[in-house]
Amino acid sequence: MQGAKAYSRNAPGCVDWACRRSGRRGLLAGLGLLARDAIAATDAEAREAMVTTIAQYTSAAASALGRDKIDPRVLDVMRRVPRHVFVPASLRSNAYDDRPLPIGFGQTISQPFIVALMTDMLRTAPDQVILEIGTGSGYQAAVLSGLVRTVHSIEILAALADAARSRLREHGFGNVLVHLGNGYFGVPSAAPFDGIIATAAAGSIPLPLLQQLRPGGRMVIPIGNPFATQHLMLVEKAMDGVVRTRRTLPVRFVPFVDAG
């Protein structure tokens, strides 16, 4: 339906122009272009609607979060990242729904609201180096890619790591490095990190990750039993190394595999 709306709005003029200029072949080529433009316009509209939904949810969750707005820089990046290339082709029409979607191997791409929230909680800056645990589709890494200098993302399943690595390269997210391995142990060779984000739930905060967090850095991680309520935890490491944790929203994530 949305496709039809965007098509008819973009079509006037262009079809006539393509037709008059180069006859039937031109018309067909023109229609092909129009269809592509129309899909791109529809994706942009869908992303805008997704961002509006995120903003609405954020104010509803304000008391739990202690804030009522997501950083506009995060929302701007989410307006640009083509989430539809990170979901299976069969789910393309649901790519911008505010819900998690299956990406194979029993894993999911997180709900856009959660991606926005967790990214916001990291309070990123453009010169930072961030570690993500659980690359999955690569979408969260792509969002971070537009906000920081370098993103290291580690995934335990080789098939997902390989697919995400090529997808991110193909779509120009050149500052994301995908590692294959157990994220419980972080990526010591690239540490310390200004921020760490885990998109799988652990029973407790993995010690290696705490050690790889730079003083002054933040970690956002779902903590809890996979079969009970988990909470999104904000972990702050002060300049003197003292660690403070704060429990925020109840969430549901896939469990950390092979955690330690």
Q: Does 150 bind ligand SAH (CB under 6 A)?
A: no
Q: Does 110 bind ligand SAH (CB under 6 A)?
A: yes
Q: Does 2 bind ligand SAH (CB under 6 A)?
A: no
End-to-end CA gap in the chain: 48
Q: In this chain, which stretch among 3-11, 34-42, 69-77, 130-138 interacts with ligand SAH, using CB under 6 A? A: 130-138
CB 245 to ligand SAH: min, Å = 20
Q: Catalytic pick from 59, 93, 110, 189? A: 110
**Alpha carbon distance 181, 244 (integer Å):** 28
Q: Which one, of 1, 83, 15, 6, lies nearest residue 39 by Cα?
A: 6
One-letter amino acid of 103: I
CB-CB contact of 233 with 246 (8 Å): yes
CB 235 to ligand SAH: min, Å = 17
CB-CB contact of 202 with 223 (8 Å): yes
Q: Does 254 bind ligand SAH (CB under 6 A)?
A: yes
The nearer residue to ligand SAH, 173 or 256, going by C-beta atoms, is: 256
Instruction: List 152's β-bridge partners, or say none.
Output: 131, 177
Torsion of CA 149, 164, 209, 227, to 10 degrees: 140
**Ramachandran angles phi, psi of 150, nearest 5°:** -140, 140
Q: Does 81 bind ligand SAH (CB under 6 A)?
A: no
> Structure tokens of 21?
């200029």
Q: Does 137 bind ligand SAH (CB under 6 A)?
A: yes
Q: Does 53 bind ligand SAH (CB under 6 A)?
A: no
Active site (annotated) includes residue 110: yes
Q: Give 136: exposed, middle or buried? Use CB within 10 Å, 0-12, 13-18, 19+.
A: buried
Q: Does 51 bind ligand SAH (CB under 6 A)?
A: no
Q: Which one, of 97, 74, 75, 85, lies nearest residue 39 by Cα?
A: 85
**Alpha carbon distance 55, 78 (integer Å):** 12
Q: In this chain, which stretch among 69-77, 88-96, 152-160, 222-230 interacts with ligand SAH, using CB under 6 A? A: 152-160
Q: Does 133 bind ligand SAH (CB under 6 A)?
A: yes
Task: Return the residue of 43, 83, 95, 108 that touches ligand SAH, per CB under 6 A.
Answer: 108
CB-CB contact of 154 with 132 (8 Å): yes
**Alpha carbon distance 48, 2 (integer Å):** 13
Q: In this chain, which stretch among 30-38, 176-184, 220-228, 229-237 interacts with ligand SAH, using CB under 6 A? A: 176-184
CB 242 to ligand SAH: min, Å = 27
Q: In this chain, which stretch among 19-27, 50-58, 116-124, 179-187 interacts with ligand SAH, using CB under 6 A? A: 179-187
The nearer residue to ligand SAH, 18 or 223, going by C-beta atoms, is: 223
Q: Give catalytic residue positions.
A: 110
- The residues that touch ligand SAH, with contacts defined as CB under 6 A, are 107-110, 133-134, 136-137, 139-140, 154-157, 160, 182-184, 199-200, 254, 256-259
